[in-house]
Amino acid sequence: MTEKMYLNAINNRDNTFDGKFFYGVITTGVYCKPSCSSRPALPNNIRFFNTFEEAEAQGLRACKVCNPKNNNPVAMVASYIKKNSDKKITLDFLSEFSGLSSNYIQRKFKVLYGVSPKQYQNGLKLNKVKAALKDGDDISGAIYGAGYGSVSRVYEQINGRIGMTPAAYRAGGKGEEISYAVRDCSLGWFIMAATDRGVCMIHFGESEEDLIKVLFSEYPHAQLYKTPKSSDTFLNHWIEAFDRHVSVGAKRPNIPLHLNGTAFQIKVWRFLMSVKHGEVLSYKEQAVRMGIPKAVRAVASANGRNNIGVLIPCHRILRGDGSLGGFRWGLDRKRALLDQEQKVIIN
């Protein structure tokens, strides 16, 4: 839109532009929606914003006449999804419901809520299942009551978070939406990436650029979105909890995981998650405990394919002679992780 189009919408009090942009008046210190009934300000005193957060970041406050926050059509979309999370909701329907384009909804929803409309609905549905189970509902009733058409679909998300099908994973994550961020911690740089079902990657590396290259090579056909550090998203909260766990020995955070691999690899990774904090095993002991004593090499290979460092604790597996063995992110990091865990136990 041009400045002339913005001003025409304001002068005509055109409510079809409400939520598509906001305007601030620097002389009064307030911001409004285009249809505000207050007297228009001089053009030189008007500033335009894509979201109300941008206006507030400039020190402007919401107009009491038009209450621009509560009339945001994207917020109306979120409210509709919340009230109807058990129904099938498509972007096309949301576009028709709100009068906004599908692309606009997808883009603005991520700005305001940190996730896509689909991810937002999936989160609400999972919360409904958990709440229903806590209230004593049977599993099938809780699942269907939340709007899922398949019991197995929910088991994939709750019991191990195996949401991406093997076919989709082999296709480089085609059709998947993945948010990611690169941060630093006591072990150096790390990347955390997540789908709407949970964290699918935690890797350590020597630079931000190298880690992003790894992510893009792992999921070349997925839609990848970088998450800014300033945003208030699930991913940033998970990263903060993960950093406390790694750097100061805080309790393992309850972060949902989205495992991608063969049936055997996933079986190995699930076993690794059962190895207690501070406990170490040899590769042979791991295979024996899993009931496959002759599959030591296969177990070790599956350990090495682990894409979710620390939360799937492959660092707790050593060689039979007690030496560190392998670790895809470097033996110094493996040693630091084990030392941190032993330190917590002693204290």
Determine contact, residues 74/112, Cβ cutoff 8 Å.
yes
Angle formed by the axes of helices 102-113 and 117-134, to 10°?
A: 60
- Residue 72's SS3 state is coil
Which residues touch 278 (CB under 8 Å, ≥6 apart)? Answer: 341, 342, 344, 345
Give 151's pLDDT tier (boundaries 50, 70, 90): very low
Could you read off the pLDDT of 171-215 as tens digits, one per residue?
556 667 899 999 999 999 999 999 887 899 999 999 999 999 999
Q: Where along the chain do its domains lie?
A: 3-71, 73-147, 168-248, 263-346
**Is the distance from CB of 179 to CB of 201 less than 8 angstroms?**
no
Strand pairing class (22-25; 30-32): antiparallel
- 263-346: same fold as 3-71? no
Report how far apart, in Å, the C-alpha atoms of 213 and of each of 116, 182, 217 are.
24, 12, 6
Q: Which CATH architecture has domain 73-147?
A: Orthogonal Bundle (1.10)
- Strands 61-62, 223-226: parallel, antiparallel or unpaired by DSSP? unpaired
pLDDT (tens digit, 9 = 90+) per residue, 84-108?
887 889 989 998 887 788 888 888 8
**What's the pLDDT tens digit per position in 309-345?**
999 999 999 988 888 888 889 999 999 999 888 876 5
pLDDT at residue 270 greater than cutoff 80: yes
Contact (CB, 8 A) for 218 and 201? yes
Is the pLDDT score of 273 beyond 80?
Answer: yes
Tell me the three state secondary structure of residue 281: strand
- Token match 């053009």: residue? 43
Residues paired with 192 in a beta bridge: 181, 202
CATH homologous superfamily of 3-71 = DNA Methylphosphotriester Repair Domain (3.40.10.10)
CATH annotation of 263-346 = 1.10.10.10
Cβ 49 vs Cβ 55: under 8 Å: yes
Whole-model pTM: value is: 0.53
Q: 223: pLDDT confidence band, cut at 50, 70 and 90?
A: confident
Q: Within its chain, how far is the Cα of 52 from the centroid?
A: 23
- Is residue 204 a contact partner of residue 308, using CB atoms and an 8 Å limit? no
Sign of the Cα pseudo-torsion (245, 249, 254, 258, in order): positive
pLDDT at 53 over 50: yes
Q: Cβ contacts of residue 238 below 8 Å, gap of 6+?
A: 192, 194, 199, 253, 255
pLDDT confidence band for 24 (50 / 70 / 90): very high
How high is the pLDDT of residue 234?
84
Active site residues: 32, 314
- The predicted model gives 234-248 an average pLDDT of 90
Topology given in CATH for the domain delimited by 168-248: Double Stranded RNA Binding Domain (3.30.160)
User: What's residue 132's pLDDT?
Assistant: 54
